Structures are given as structure tokens and as C-alpha cells.
Amino acid sequence: MGSKWQRIEQVAGIVFLGLIAIGCAVVLRPFVTAILWAAILCYATWPLYRRLERFLRGRKNLAAALMTALITIVLVLPFAIVGFTFADNVARLAQQVQGYSSQGVPAVPQWVDGIPFLGNWLQGYWQGLHENTELAAQTLKKWYDKLTPSLLRWSLSLGHGILQLTLSVIIAFFFYRDGVTVVSRVDEGIKRIAGDYSQRLVETVGITVKSVVYGLLGTALAQGIMAGIGFSIAGVPGAFLWALLIFLLSLVPAGPPLVWIPVTIWLFLRGDVGWGIFMGLWGLLCISGIDNLVRPVLISRTTPLPFALTLLGVMGGLIAFGFIGIFLGPTVLAAGYSLVQEFLSRKPQTPGAG
């Protein structure tokens, strides 16, 4: 009878622990993305934090606060600026549409006729709207009503991404401060699962994570900054938004030319030949060219991620985790890819090997 009650108590204890685990998973589910990205950022920048901690003579709270502030300036602040710029541009677009609806569409610019294939048709269509104010008002209202939901979704997605980045930075503070304890706990757990081979697995994942963060994110930041500078010098409208787009497309091979080449063509079609030449050279040398300069400097040891997996990481991360998944997706896939390679390259031990 006693053993029966003891078995019931054991089952009840297991069920209770399972319910607690499920409850914890439900509570933490909205924050999984931020926690994972905070862990990746802390791991990649841990050597810098340790140097800062030694410089501050072991003041962990101050060192963690300074690292958190640095990440905020580098990672969160640019997106916050772009978010405000995007909202401001949407408001200006609404005002301009209202103005065109009441006052009419302005005359056709000369550069429209120079657009290949579509120039003549676009010029005629634009001229028709310019001459017929009522038709212009109806057309603008129709297109604006179609565009508004998409703009709202983009704004919400960008705002949610900025919120996730901000939350990850806050979590990173505690990871920095209590990192040694957290790492020791994680290491113990991995050893129980993977045994003595766990150290090799941790090293493989660690090298890959640092390579992806330094390589992809560092290069994307450099290309985005250079793009923003070039667009601002050339007087391109919405320079911050175009720079953000290049920053995001930098995570995909051959992505930035998809932005700066059309911008260069647009400058030529406007008749700004000098700025078009400047933008073309700036895009070739300072935006796309910086990839070949910065990436090798930032990456010392890495497992190259194939193009297909990089693209799947960006798209899948965006679908699974939202805006922050653009960075998280390739990092997770690269770590998994390295682990698979490590397992496949591991030589099986012979029975007599000791």
C-alpha cells in the first residue's frame, strides 16, 4: 500500500513539474525572440564586456550598463530614428495626397519621358490626371486607400521590431551582469545531454555565432551607414529609409545593388547627371565595395553559410520572429549548419579505442 501511494506521489510530482514547465513556457513565449537575441549579442560581445569590467575594476553593474548603452546607440537608436522618419513621411504623404486631390496633380516632369519602355505611357497618364482634377482626386483616393493598410502593417511591424530590440537590450544588461553564472548553468545542462563532447559543440556554435554577428550584422551596419551618407549627400528623398532597406538587404548576398542602382538611374532620369555619376561610384565603391573590405576584417574564423540557407534564414526568421528575425534567422541556421557539419565530420570511435 505504501509503495502504491509513493508511486502516486511520484506521478503527481511529475505532472506538477510538467504544469509548471508549461506555465513558464506560456509566460515566456512572447519574450523568446528578445531573450534569444540578447543571448546572441552578449555572447558575441562578451570579450569586450570583460575588458570593460577589468578596466572598471570589477564593477559589473557599471560595465553592464555601459555595454547596454553602447548596444542601444549602435543597434536600437538608428531604427528608432528610421521609425520616426517613416511615420513623418507617411504623414507628409497623406497631406500631399489631400493637396493634390483638391488642387490637382502638378505638371509632368521632363525626366518621366526618359523612362525606358514606360515613359510615353506614364507621361500620357500623368498628363491626363494633370488636366482632369476630378479624375486625379478619384485615382489618388483609390490608390491611397489601397496603400494605407500596407503602410499601417509596415509601421506596426517596424514598431514591434524596435520594441523587441529594446527589450533584448534590457535583457542583455542582466545577461552581462550575471553572465558567468548563466553560462555555468547552461554548460552543466549541456554536459548532461551531450556528455564530454559538449565542450566541442559549444565551441563550434560559439565560433559560428560570433562569425555571423560580426560578419553579417557588422557589414550590414557599415553598408547602411555608407548608404545613408551617400543618399544624404546626393539629396535623395527619404535617405534614412533607403539606408535601412540597404541595411536589411545587406544580410542577403548581392542585396544592396537592388537599392542604389535604381536610385542612380532615377538621378540620371531626373537630369542630375553629376549626382547620378556620384551615386553610381559611391554605390560601387563605398556601399557594395565595403563588403569585401569589412567582412574579412570582422570574420577571422567562420563556417560559410550557403546562399540558399542565408536567404531561407532571412525569410524564415522574418516569418517566425518578425522584424528581429532578419538577424536571428541566419544566426540560428548558421549555428545549426555548423553543428551538422561537426557531427558529420566526427570520426566514429572503434570499440577498442581507449
Q: Is the pLDDT of residue 245 over 50?
A: yes
- What is the mean predicted confidence (pLDDT) over 56-81? 84
Residue 325, classified by CB atoms within 10 Å of its CB into exposed (0-12), middle (13-18) or buried (19+), is buried
pLDDT value, residue 349: 53
Q: Is the pLDDT of residue 354 over 50?
A: no
CA pair distance 209, 49, nearest whole angstrom: 17
Is residue 298 very low, low, confident or very high in pLDDT (cuts 50, 70, 90)?
low
pLDDT at 34: 82
Using the predicted structure, report yes or no on whether residue 67 has a pLDDT greater than 80.
yes
Give the pLDDT score at 315.
77
The pLDDT of residue 353 is: 47
Instruction: With a cut of 60, say whether residue 6 has pLDDT above it.
Output: yes
pLDDT computed for residue 111 by the predictor: 66
Other C-beta atoms closer than 10 Å to the C-beta of 97 total: 17
Burial 275-304 (b: 16+ CB within 10 A, else e): bbebbbebbeebbbebbeebbeebbeebbe
What is the number of other CB atoms lying within 10 angstroms of the CB of residue 235?
10
Q: What is the mean pLDDT of the chain?
A: 76
Q: Are the CB atoms for 294 and 218 separated by under 8 Å?
A: yes
Q: Which of 24-33, 187-196, 254-263 has the highest mean pLDDT?
A: 254-263
- % the chain with pLDDT above 90: 2
Segments making up each domain of the chain, as ranges: 32-181, 195-345
What is the predicted pLDDT for the residue at 209? Answer: 72
Q: Is the pLDDT of residue 348 over 60?
A: no
pLDDT tens digit sequence for 158-203: 777 778 888 888 888 988 888 777 766 666 666 665 555 556 666 6
Query: So what's the pLDDT on residue 341?
Result: 73
Are 294 and 6 in contact, with CB atoms under 8 Å apart? Answer: no
User: How confident is the model over 62-76, as a mean pLDDT?
Assistant: 86
Give mean pLDDT, residues 209-213: 72
| Whole-number Å distance between alpha carbons of 303 and 343 | 14
- The residue that leads in pLDDT, 318 or 188, is 318
Does this model's pTM top 0.85?
A: no
134-138, 195-199, 223-227, 326-330: segment of lowest average pLDDT: 195-199
- For 287-315, what is the mean pLDDT? 68
pLDDT above 70: residue 144: yes
Contact 263, 280 (CB under 8 A): no
Task: Quick: pLDDT tens for 226-240.
Answer: 898 999 998 888 787
